[in-house]
A = this chain, B = another copy of it.
Amino acid sequence: MAKPASIVPAKGRTAVVDVADQLTELIYAKMTPGVSLPSEAEMAARYGVSRVTVREAIKMLAGRGLVEISRGRRAVISEPTGEALGDFLGWIVQFDPKGMFDLVEVRMSLEVKAVALAAQRATRPAIAGIENMLDGMREVGKKIERIDADIEIERQFHRYDVGFHEAVALASGNRVITSLIEAMAVPLERSFFMSRRGKAARGIPVEHTVAAHQKILDCIKNKDSTGAISAMRAHLEESARDMRAALES
């Protein structure tokens, strides 16, 4: 067994960053989500630093979304999800006043790409997943018609709506797209409610939204990529329009 070479950070670097880098490599090597890192004590011994240093390094990795931390258990390599990414996109949006529109613009490209791919390669279960979300929308949608303006119901509807789009992304089979669209959900939540308010103001029923989604799903089922693209584009453009309308009032 090789003697543990203590980490002596080069000038300008810190032990924490060095350890974080080493651990990143280690994670990339293991690569499989669900696998545990060594215990803090072990890592401290291996790298010749204190437990404090190791802990801070791990916290950095957690911030990047590479590991998940929970008390009493060792840190676990996490599956790449959009969660950590969402923060970052939120930060851009917050940073720039027109950031929200920038995000909507990007989302449109990604969703169009996603739906095009989904139409080509969606598997049966993936389609079932999309269908589920649409069913949910339809069901909750009825309640919205009856009881007016219940925020909690609206929120439920929103969850299914977001779920629909995530399911489409998933059906594309492209992990990067899936992660990005997931990541956008949180910062775009506000835009969604703006868009719905805009629709409500113009007296457009929820059914209309449901129908738009249904059309997208139909195209995917029929492997009609072109149709899916235009259906998605139409849907998103309308949302953007509603959003702008809501902003002006």
* Interface residues of A, Cβ cutoff 8 Å to B: 14, 16, 24, 28, 31, 33, 52, 55-57, 59-66, 71, 79-80, 84-85, 87-89, 91-96, 99, 102-103, 105-106, 109-110, 112-113, 117, 174-177, 179-180
Contacts and interface: CB of A to CB of B under 8 A. Distances in A.
B89 A176 contact: yes
Contact of A106 (B16, B56, B180): B180
18 contacts: A59-B63, A61-B63, A63-B63, A79-B95, A85-B88, A89-B176, A92-B176, A93-B176, A95-B175, A96-B175, A99-B176, A102-B174, A103-B176, A105-B113, A105-B117, A105-B176, A106-B110, A106-B113
Contacts of A177: 102, 105-106
A24 B90 CA distance: 11
Most chain B CB neighbours (cut-off 10 Å) among A85, A91, A109, A176 = A176
Given A88-B65, A109-B110, A102 B60 contact: no
Contacts of A71: 14
B91 A80 contact: yes
A51 to B, nearest CB: 11
B95 A31 contact: yes
Nearest to A87: B64
Tally of this chain's copies:
2
Contacts of A64: 63-64, 84, 87-88, 91
B106 A176 contact: yes
Nearest to A92: B80
Nearest to A62: B60
Contacts of A60: 59-60, 62-63
Contacts of A55: 56
Nearest to A61: B63
Given A16-B59, A31-B95, 4 more contacts: A28-B94, A61-B63, A63-B63, A65-B91
A61 B91 CA distance: 12
A103 B95 CA distance: 26
Closest 7 pairs between A and B when the two form their complex, measured CB to CB: A63-B63, A60-B63, A59-B59, A109-B113, A102-B174, A63-B64, A102-B176
